[in-house]
Structure 1
């Protein structure tokens, strides 16, 4: 019994330990745009042009984009590669072995990345929004880029031309728990080279991309929520009827 209790305690601590090992960079909140069709359409375009070269979304078909207001012709003319068809899954041509050689690991499938990154510190959308906006130039990394949310990330900054080139500034401070140690605290970004977009335009484009990723993770999320409200209302009415019927039945028995 003691051994079983110890095993249960260890298992319970595993999620906490895994979260503690991750970076604790504060997440920026992003507005929910999953009901905004224009934002989703722009996000789908950004996803295909910037993400789909390396990352697959194998649980999503191109023709599902009709749910966000696109026609087959719009999908075919603007979002498909030459050999793809409207009914195909969103896959990449890059071989896993090549991806591992180039990036050190196979880029993850992004079908449900917005749900996978959700945690107690914020939604998956907040994580993605902050992650995509906190790349900075770091010549010590193989790709030349690093990230504040995901330190030592293997992914390069694919949207650097839009955001521009930035470096991260760090200030040296004494550790609050151990004054003999010095810690490097993030002190902001410094713009080295301007991008094609202003900071506001880039943040807006990133929010559209994140909205698409959140929608793609569960295209029927709003339908599910609407149905959930009706189901709860039905259960509430049924509960009242069952309660009154039960009272009426036992009244006759007594």
Structure 2
């Protein structure tokens, strides 16, 4: 079949984590448990941050927003994976694939932005403690979150619209349990140069930018902590950053692992579907 427009595309196959039938029940139970723990854990954080007046601070405001993003991010991929395992089906339609890519990009990039904003909050709290309440006022906190959402939505909309211009020659297997932007671009049989340029530019700008902001914030934080003469003062200052720093480390290590996995996937294979 020669290249055509996107109306020819109906379904893709998500190969998932394993093709072994005996492992499907184990995978279903494992990912269902992880999904429920993630959702309920983040819901508890949101509930605590909103109900306890002592937690009505910028840090917990950002943490609650991060929890919302985490729930949405996991809900973009895991439920579809669980349904496919339950139905013993690996099919996802074209519209579902584009929708999944759109929300994955929105919430994935939002994670970067939320962690960067939280790093800025810790920077102000430690490096400018006397001006903290003035700088991190509710208006600025709300504006930072709003701008993060707007930039992520616009970026995801651009990436998704760029996907719609691509043509696919036939049905393909996707060597993951979700639709991923780079993998979908590789499956296209039309010119993908512009898509790759936009994708990598956005990755550097929207992924590298927040990471640079986190590194800058923590370089200033470390410098300030080292300048504190009291050991107790150093410990208190560091303890205010420890939880955020551990989340940042875990998140970026996970992103690095996923990126390496996506760089060396199983080769996508064209399949002959019954007519």
Q: Please identify which structure carries the higher strand content.
A: 1
Q: Please identify which structure carries the higher helix content.
A: 2
**Which structure has the higher relative contact order (CA within 8 Å, separation 6+)?**
2
**TM-score, normalised with respect to structure 2:** 0.22
**TM-score, normalised with respect to structure 1:** 0.23
Q: Which has the larger radius of gyration?
A: 1
